[in-house]
Amino acid sequence: MGRADILTDGYGRRIDYLRISITDRCNLRCGYCMPEDIPLVPAEEILTFEEIEAVCTAAAELGIRKFKITGGEPLVRRGCPKLIGRLNKIPGVKQVTLTTNGILLGKYLDELVFHGLRSVNVSLDTLKPEVYREITGSDGLSLVLENIGRAVDAGLQVKINSVLQKKVNDGEWEALLGLAKDQKIDVRFIEMMPIGYGKKCEAVKGSGLQAKLREKYPLMERETQARGNGPAVYYRIPGFSGSVGFISAVHGQFCDSCNRIRMTAKGELKPCLSYGDSVDIRAAGVTADRIKEAIKEAVRRKPGGHCFAHRDGITEDRQMVQIGG
Ligand code: SAM
Ligand code: SF4
């Protein structure tokens, strides 16, 4: 690898995006992610904010331009908005975004905006309080909806991530899509991945859902302009302020354009979501040169594609809450 294309993997893909889990703790108990208490990473093993900043600085020097803060629930870790501010100041960084379940979004909204957050993904699978309780174990639906409205009013770009499951919330796509009708919110439907507890859930295929939408909205048109950090395919529906996106995580053929690596809360760099393989950033010592070597190694180890269609090949045995999604 020459210096200019140092973060190009063995398949010619340019890697410029790092998803960073800052905690494996969560204030919800979503059935497909963390339905029950599971062993937590001891607090002393979780990367400090200084270590995360050091990783991001090294990553930016290697050409990584975009960071996503995830978890667990990132907003349960004290200081998350400040961390976003620090990462935003790293030379070369174009964008730092956040994925949250929305429960604490209102509480930290002003701070997040102050620290330069411009875009947030809120995970929301239902608009029915009883189904929300069934999926997440919480009565927080109205709070999440209120916080989404406040985030839009504060000028943030808001994307809703919805995972549909058969016999749980598969009938709710139309209601969820309604959030994109009058507000500039994108609603994205993500296929359930057979990771951890997700293996037990009945996924709704993106292609089938798209067919239903097309029937209801025949004038729906695919957006031609590329946008976002990843695999979502977006469509415009006449009369809607926001767009609808499909992230066909299992059946979509998007690995050819994969641009990312992931880092767990204790500093394991993951080349691909479906495999357990990782490079431990701490093992080598968290100095700039060693971090860069670890990042390059993770990029080198990226496989050509995931193996979700053939479950036997999946070697990732952690839960999504331990990885970051
Ligand atoms: N707590 C935050 C949240 O819920 O947005 C961030 C972490 S969560 C692990 C990130 C995303 O992963 C959420 O949108 C969640 O719905 C999704 N997710 C969790 N398990 C999944 C699975 N098995 N398949 C697909 N998406 C999953
Ligand atoms: Fe927590 Fe997000 Fe997982 Fe739900 S999806 S349990 S909110 S980490």
Quote the number of domains for the chain: 1
- The reply to whether 187 falls in a domain is yes
Return the structure tokens found at 77.
Answer: 């870790």
CATH code, domain with 296: 3.20.20.70
Distance 29 CA to ligand 2 centre (A): 6
Q: What is the spatial distance between Cα 67 and Cα 115, in angstroms, rounded to a whole number?
A: 14
Percentage of residues in the chain having pLDDT higher than 70: 98
Q: Is 24 in the pocket of ligand 2 (CB under 6 A)?
A: no
- The reply to whether 145 falls in a domain is yes
Dihedral over alpha carbons 115, 121, 126, 128 (to 10 degrees): 20
Q: Is 245 in the pocket of ligand 1 (CB under 6 A)?
A: no
- The reply to whether 10 falls in a domain is no
Reduce the DSSP state of residue 233 to 3 states and report it: strand
Return the ligand number nearest the Cα of 99.
1
Q: Is 163 in the pocket of ligand 1 (CB under 6 A)?
A: yes
- The reply to whether 5 falls in a domain is no
Note the pLDDT of residue 229: 64
- The reply to whether 270 falls in a domain is yes
- The reply to whether 258 falls in a domain is yes
| pLDDT, average across residues 248-254 | 78
Name which of 250, 234, 260 is nearest 190 in CA terms: 250
* Each residue's pLDDT tens digit, 286-316: 899 999 999 999 999 999 988 887 778 889 9
User: Containing domain of residue 153, as a range?
Assistant: 17-323
For 173-192, give one letter per residue: b (16+ CB within 10 A) or e: beebbebbeeeebbbbbbbb
Q: Is 73 in the pocket of ligand 1 (CB under 6 A)?
A: yes
Question: Which DSSP helix (H) or strand (E) runs through 289?
Answer: helix 288-300
Distance 1 CA to ligand 1 centre (A): 34
- The reply to whether 22 falls in a domain is yes
pLDDT of 85 over the 70 cut: yes
Single pTM value for the model:
0.95
Instruction: With both helix axes pointing from N to C terminus, report the angle between 141-153 and 129-136 in degrees, rounded to the nearest 10.
Output: 100
- The reply to whether 1 falls in a domain is no
DSSP characters over 1-18 = --STTTTB-TTS-B--EE
Name which of 278, 264, 279 is nearest 41 in CA terms: 264
pLDDT of 81 over the 60 cut: yes
Q: From edge to edge, which strands make up the β-sheet containing 157-163?
A: 221-222, 233-236, 244-247, 185-190, 157-163, 119-123, 95-100, 66-70, 17-21, 260-263, 268-270, 279-280
The answer to whether 16 and 7 are in contact (CB under 8 A) is yes
Mutate to test the pocket of ligand 1, among 33, 120, 125, 318 (most ligand atoms within 8 A of CB): 33
* Each residue's pLDDT tens digit, 99-157: 999 999 999 999 999 999 999 999 999 999 999 999 999 999 999 999 999 999 999 99
